[in-house]
Structure 1
Amino acid sequence: MSLHPILLMGGSGAIGHQTARALRAVYPDVPLLIGGRDHTKAEQAAVQMGGAEGVKIDPGADDLGLGERRISGVVVFYMDHALAGLRYAQTRGIPHLSISSGVFEIAPEIAMYMHRPDAAAIVLGYEWMVGATTVSTLELARAFGRVTDIAIHALVDEQDTGGPTVASDFEHLNRMLPAALTRRDGVFGWREGEQANVSFEAVDGTPIQASGFSSIDVTGLAAATGAANVQFNLATGVSSSRRQGGTMSTEIIIELAGEDLQGKPLSTRHAVVHPAGAAALTGLSVAMVLERLLGLDGQPAMPAGLYFPYQVLNADRFLKRLTQEGGALRAL
């Protein structure tokens, strides 16, 4: 199919590279524009990716400095507080995906959607690893007749830095929102101080100290499953694979409790793992969201609307691609 370029705003970083890699693995001819304020840096990244073009972005201009150039979709890899990418996408009726904002910063995007709900598809891609966590959790929840408790524990290897933009975004999130959005007994509230400190077991069984994190996964999973108790915790340390003498990886522990399809008590514990780390897993998710938004897979493109990533991604297809990359959704 003929396709106008996909604009990756801030795409010169690790996640942008991994997104391009994941897209090219299935769609080698998909055209990409790597946009940034530094034209030289964007061009260098485009050359490294191959078959891409670097462009300078002017977030203060209505056309982002791209003039009349046709674009098929926009992905933003940094906190776009001015919503320049979203304004551009809505004006042109093309899909928009942003992955870096906090749960407390979605109101401006929702307001823009409410004023132009028929303009294009907008994906709130702030879930942990842009849907890798929620898609896997909801797939596991199919074994339950009723889910009462969901606990997500994300372990990021201390060597898995993700680059300066990721570090800056996390610093911003931690500074602005130290309390963790959590659902307890059906009520949303905030964990802070000692209440936010938890311990969980990594894939290899090692106890890990973690803190509550305000991931939008909490709201989406609560809405999708009706679970009365939903929490998300985040830790940085040594991943299980590196502790065992291998390379660093990323791991996400998913603990579910409730009743099975026959009404009997059921609890499960699984992990999503990717041997190449957080950027690779995030890049895979972004690439597969784009695939669905634009209809690259041969199915109709997503209609205008406001979506979580798990509402866009196909679970079977995602888990198959995850396995092909050496990752897994593993029972513990």
Structure 2
Amino acid sequence: MQAIVILGGYGVVGSQIAQILRQSHPDLALILAGRNPQQAQQLVAELGGPTSAAAVDVFKPQPLAELQPRAIINAVNDPHDYVLQEAVSRGIPLVDITRWTSRLQQTLNGIDRNTLKAPLVFASHWMAGLASVVAFAATQQLAQTEQMDLHVLFSLKDKAGPNSIEYMEHIATPFTITEKHQPREVYPYTEPQTVTFPNGYRAKTYRFDTPDQWTLPQSTKAASVSARITFDDRLTMGLLLGLARSGVWKLLMHRRFDRLRHALLYNPGKGAAHELVWQISGRDHAGKPQQLTKTIVDRQGQTHLTAVGAVIQLETMLGLDGSQAFAPGIYFPETAPKLAYALGRMQQLGVELN
């Protein structure tokens, strides 16, 4: 039986992907894959149905050679692109939620789109692309989109998977944004803006890199797109700002400091709400200026929101939502799913949209 292979399927995010899929699609075959499949046995028993575990090592070529996947959800880093290469060569539909912007761009440059035999959904955007889905939906009421600003409130009490470290390690690496239709290089943790989040917390947010800033200017034709983040602990926020601005973080990127960096960045809690605010400006079809504010709150935290995003991408890619499955090609979150379905599905799975 062909199954959905969830790489990292017994991890923090992967296990929630599996739980949502099992609840929503009781007869869907699932394989929880990773280097230590014995760790998945309890979850396999809890999920029931056609669920199993398999040994897959993404650090080795052809990691899925022993499996016949119907589709892959990749929830672990694919450092050598072995998973991607196998999906492309074997024509396996893939949802990938693991690549920061520069890696995503490099990956796409190496893919011959004319030879693809299956859809590839690259959803490494914030929370597996759900932030961009909400933003793209909001811009549909505008004739012209001028500015899109994403603000993220990250709780230190929230759950987090170890793969989140790679995203956070780039706090001293410059990246490119689109501003007034032109590329501009910026540095993380600079150019703050002050915003109030749905829970009333008011703080300065700072630039960070996420693929949303690269794909949204293409999909919405927005003149400017930016993303900023803050932590709900001001001392921690101040420490990261100091490390980034002083140049100390660049020194800490040496391999000898791996444990220290990981200790600073990876201290997951037991769970807390994850909150996002979109501030969008533009003009309506009558030419009048418009200011839109959209908020996203997941009381179960950022890992749950990421899992919801991955599930929505899979459902729309394979046609599990009742629509036609995707043709072979490359897709991004905001333009891949049917917007009405995606927004409704988010709310059905406990995500609050306003």
Q: What residue number does 1:170 align with?
A: 167
Distance 2:132 2:101 in 1: 15
**Identity, % of aligned positions:** 23
The verdict on how the C-alpha distance between 1:59 and 1:14 changes in structure 2, with shifts beyond 3 A counting, is closer
Give, in whole Å, the separation in 2 of the partners of 1:256 and 1:39: 44
Taking the aligned partners of 2:220 and 2:287, their CA distance within structure 1 comes to: 16
User: Does the C-alpha gap of structure 1 residues 37 and 147 become closer, same or farther in structure 2, counting only changes over 3 Å?
Assistant: same
Tell me the distance in 1 between the aligned counterparts of 2:330 and 2:346. Answer: 25
- 1:296 aligns to what? 320
Q: Does 1:273 align with 2:318?
A: no
Q: Structure 1 residues 302 and 43, CA, compared in 2 at 3 Å: closer, same or farther?
A: same
Q: Is the 8 A contact 1:44 1:54 kept in 2?
A: no
CA 1:115 to 1:310, structure 2 compared with 1: closer, same or farther past 3 Å?
closer
The whole-number CA distance in structure 1 between the counterparts of 2:166 and 2:43 is 20
Aligned to 1:84: 82
Secondary structure of the 2:129 match is helix
1:273-302 CA-to-partner distances (Å, cap 9, x unmatched) read 111111111111111111121222333211
| Whole-angstrom CA distance in 1 between matches of 2:203 and 2:113 | 44
1:132-171 alignment runs, 5 A limit: 132-166=130-164, 168-171=165-168
* Matches of 2:115 and 2:53, distance apart in 1: 31
Deviations 1:104-144 (A, max 9, x none): 11244214422664222111111111121111111111221
Give the residue type in structure 2 aligned to 1:298.
Answer: G
Counterpart for residue 213 of structure 1: 208
Amino acid aligned to 2:166: D
Bigger Cα displacement from structure 2, 222-231 vs 187-196:
187-196
- Structure 2 CA distance for aligned equivalents of residues 229 and 115 of structure 1: 28
SS at match of 2:69: coil
By how many angstroms is 1:65 displaced?
Answer: 5.5
| CA deviation profile, 1:175-213 (whole Å, cap 9, x unmatched) | 6x3x34322221111222774333222114432222211
What is the number of residues matched between the two proteins?
Answer: 316
The alignment partner of 1:211 has SS state of strand
1:235 has 2:230 as partner:
yes
Does residue 27 (structure 1) correspond to residue 51 (structure 2)? The answer is no
2:53 corresponds to 1:58: no
Shift of 1:174: 3.2
Q: Is the 8 A contact 2:5 2:33 kept in 1?
A: yes
What is the aligned partner in structure 2 of residue 285 from structure 1? 309
CA distance in 1, matches of 2:201, 2:150: 16
CA separation of 1:144/1:75 partners in 2, compared to 1, >3 Å: closer, same or farther? same
1:219-272 deviations in Å (ceiling 9; x for gaps): 21111222211100112216xxxxxxxx82111100011112211111111201
TM-score (norm. length: structure 1): 0.88
- Equivalent in 88, 98, 101 of residue 100 of structure 1: 98
For 1:109 and 1:8, how far apart are their aligned partners in 2? 21
The answer on whether the counterparts of 1:254 and 1:270 sit within 8 Å (CA) in structure 2 is: yes
Question: CA separation of 1:133/1:171 partners in 2, compared to 1, >3 Å: closer, same or farther?
Answer: closer
Pick closer, same or farther for the CA change 1:196–1:100 going to 2, 3 Å: farther
Counterparts of 1:196 and 1:81, CA distance in 2:
31
Give the whole-Å Cα distance in 2 for the aligned partners of 1:206 and 1:47.
40
- Distance in 1 (alpha carbons) for counterparts of 2:189 and 2:109: 35
- Cα drift, residue 160 of structure 1: 0.9
Q: Distance in 1 between matches of 2:215 and 2:294?
A: 19
Q: Which runs of 5+ in 1 are unaligned?
A: 239-246
Find the aligned partners of 2:48 and 2:154 in 1 and give their Cα distance: 29
**Residue 279 of structure 2 aligns to which amino acid in structure 1?**
E
Structure 1 residues 115 and 151, CA gap change in structure 2 (3 angstroms): closer
Q: Does 1:262 align with 2:286?
A: yes
After TM superposition, give the deviation of residue 7 of structure 1 in Å.
Answer: 0.9
Letter in 1 for 2:280: L
Q: Is the 8 A contact 2:3 2:31 kept in 1?
A: yes
Q: In structure 1, give the amino acid aligned to 2:225.
A: V
Q: Which position in structure 2 is the counterpart of 1:47?
A: 45
Q: How far did 1:164 drift? A: 2.4
Change beyond 3 A, Cα 1:191–1:62: closer
Residue matched to 1:181: 176
CA distance in 1, matches of 2:316, 2:292: 30
Cα distance change on mapping 1:258 and 1:111 into 2, 3 Å: closer
203, 221, 233: which is aligned to 2:198? Answer: 203
Alignment gaps of 5+ in structure 2 = 234-270
